[in-house]
Amino acid sequence: MTEYKSGSNLEKVLKAGYFAFTGECGPPRGANVEVVRKKAQHLKGCVDAVNVTDNQTAVVRMSSWAACLILKEEGLDPNFQMVCRDRNRLAMQSDILGISAHGIKNMLCLSGDHQRFGDHPEAKNVYDIDSIQLISMVKKMRDEGAFLNGEKIDVPPKIFIGAACNPFAEPLEFRVYRLKKKIDAGADFIQTQCIYNMKRFREFMKRVVDMGLHERCYILAGITPLKSVGMARYMATQVPGMDVPEELIKRLRGAGKGKAAEEGIKIAVEQIQELKEMEGVAGVHLMAIEWEHRVPEIAKLAGMLPRPKVE
């Protein structure tokens, strides 16, 4: 029998050697359960796990763990995102125990967008611990069965630990080392920020492979389909650490009126196919922001269906 760290679907798929395909679901700005269920239906059967964002862009939403529970009821494998902005070490550890108690087995550890971007810029920020310290803390809870303070946990949480990586953020030369730090801290899998510049990502992955990091951790490449020229421009100019090559923008514009979205999907599909062949890449994380209903189509076109079932 295979020994699993958490036994989540995502872990099983990766461990069995399949090319993983994960999706994302942003919880609603309200207690609207139906919205979550509807998004779940689009994703079901198309992805191995679904990330649930944690007050993304520092805007208040239904809590990540609560939306995770709804996804789980819908038969999906949730990936609980936790940011360091809103919780101190007490709240973090109790939420980790809470999600584990409810059978949520994946978790993505993030710093989080600063609250000054969000809808409550006056809020006090927490940042008691940072994302790398959070990874270490979850690992300690799982593997040593101990809280951060060293005290024993009665039934430790079983979590497949994830972390993020932005290959294109500055200072560039340090990014691969920061990835290494996250893996040293205990990350089992990595989901990268959205990749548009495939040439640069290939170079980044070469460094990752040269350092042997892909053998210590599963690396999932992040893809966000571009819906429009405007979105591409916004990504290129307004989002730090995002590299959208000019030729992609040209391609979207060249698609003609009303056809940019289709072209965006085509680009994403080509990227996924290219990533499938890239050394060191264990899967793709598809962040189709408020475009969950297009995920089945993208999955199909990219040859990601059917998703494997690992017992």
Partner 1 sequence: MIIAEAKPISEILEMVKDFSKILVVGCKGCVTVCNVGGAKEVAILASSIRIGMRKKGKEVEVGEITLERQCDPEYIEELRDIIKDYDAVVSIACGVGPQFIAERYPDIMVFPGVNTKFMGGAIEHGVWAERCAGCGQCVIHYYGTMCPIARCSKSLMNGPCGGSNHGKCEVSPEIDCIWDKIVRKMMAQGRLEELLKIRPPKSWLTARDGGPRKMVREELAK
Binding site for partner 1 (CB under 8 A): 84-85, 89, 111-114, 116-117, 125, 127-133, 136-137, 148, 164, 166, 169-171, 173-174, 177-178, 180-181, 184-185, 193, 240-241
Q: How far is CA 45 from CA 22, 27, 108, in A?
A: 11, 19, 21
DSSP count for the chain of H helices, then E strands: 11, 8
User: Nearer to partner 1 by C-beta: 107 or 183?
Assistant: 183
Nearer to partner 1, 31 or 239 (CB): 239
Q: Are 305 and 7 in contact (CB under 8 A)?
A: no
In this structure, the number of other CB atoms found within 10 A of the CB of residue 38 comes to 13
Nearer Cβ to partner 1 (92/304): 92
Shorter beta-carbon distance to partner 1: residue 42 or 175: 175
Q: Are 203 and 232 in contact (CB under 8 A)?
A: no
Nearer to partner 1, 8 or 56 (CB): 56
Asked if 189 and 220 count as a contact pair (C-beta separation under 8 A), the reply is yes
- Report the nearest approach of partner 1 to the CB of residue 178 (Å): 7
Residues in the chain: 311
To the nearest whole angstrom, how small is the minimum distance from the Cβ of residue 197 to partner 1?
15
Please count the other Cβ atoms lying within 10 Å of the Cβ belonging to residue 290.
9
Question: From the CB of 148, what's the least distance to partner 1, in Å?
Answer: 6
Nearer CB in complex with partner 1: 133/228 = 133
Query: In the bound complex, what is the minimum distance in angstroms from residue 135's beta carbon to partner 1?
Result: 9
| Minimum distance, C-beta of residue 305 to partner 1, in the bound complex (Å) | 31
Q: Which is nearer to partner 1, 4 or 174 (CB)?
A: 174
Q: How far is the CB of 262 from partner 1 (least distance, A)?
A: 30
Q: Specify the DSSP element, H or E, that contains 109.
A: strand 106-110
* Closest separation in Å from C-beta 85 to partner 1: 7
Distance CA 109, CA 70 (A): 20
Which H or E element spans position 51? Answer: strand 49-52
Distance CA(125)–CA(127), nearest Å, equals 6
Residue 49 burial (CB < 10 Å; 0-12/13-18/19+)?
A: buried
Assigned token pair, 209: 């492979």
Q: Give first-to-last CA distance, the chain, whole Å.
A: 10
Specify the residue, 180 or 266, whose C-beta has the smaller distance to partner 1: 180
Closest distance of CB 223 from partner 1, Å = 16
